[in-house]
């Protein structure tokens, strides 16, 4: 998955690209957990299904990332991989694979407190989908 960071005062901005909307949203999920932990240490033994809604693609992205971040903050679930099964104009469904945080094996690299709506965007540029989102760290 490909993403890049961009500067944002006191927060962390991420830009993700994908050949499809499914790839784009999966890439954003990957970026979130790649920044959060060393993914090479996370096993893919537990499967979780996520379904979110939103009024537009940017809100759908923020709601999706908030839901998977809640899995970490609420249940200690670390995502290893994400398969976005369906993206409709106001609905997204995905399967996450990962495991519960084990302090003996996992390292937390960066605390991500929240996913913000500030400057969130999802748009098609030529043949690629591009998303920008800001994480509160």
Using alpha carbons, list the distances in angstroms from residue 95 to 10, 42, 43, 131.
Answer: 31, 16, 15, 20
Could you report the per-residue pLDDT of 61-95, keeping only the tens digit for each? 999 999 999 999 999 999 999 999 999 999 999 99
Taking only the tens place, the pLDDT of each residue in 27-52 is 999 999 999 999 999 999 999 999 99
Examine the pLDDT at 5 and tell me if it is beyond 90: no
Q: Is the sign of the CA dihedral 40, 136, 10, 103 positive or negative?
A: negative
pLDDT at 8: 64
Q: What is the pTM of this model?
A: 0.93
Total count of domains within the chain = 1
Cβ atoms of 29 and 66 within 8 Å: the answer is: no
The CATH number of whichever domain residue 83 belongs to comes to: 3.55.10.10
| CA-wise closest residue to 77 among 42, 27, 115 | 42
**CA–CA distance from 134 to each of 25, 30, 49, 106 (Å)?**
14, 14, 24, 24
């Amino acid at each position: 998955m490909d993403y890049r960071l961009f500067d944002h005062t006191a927060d962390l901005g991420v830009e993700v690209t994908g050949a499809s909307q499914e790839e784009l949203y999966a890439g954003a999920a990957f970026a979130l957990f790649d920044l959060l932990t060393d993914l090479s240490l996370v096993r893919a033994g537990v499967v979780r299904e996520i379904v979110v809604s939103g009024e537009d693609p940017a809100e759908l992205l923020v709601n999706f990332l908030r839901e998977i971040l809640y899995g970490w903050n609420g249940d200690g679930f670390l995502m290893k991989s994400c398969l976005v099964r369906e993206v409709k104009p106001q609905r997204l469904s995905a399967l996450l694979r990962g495991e519960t945080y084990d302090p003996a094996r996992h390292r937390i690299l960066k605390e991500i407190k929240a996913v913000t709506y500030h400057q969130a965007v999802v748009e098609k540029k030529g043949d690629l989908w591009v998303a920008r989102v800001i994480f509160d760290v």
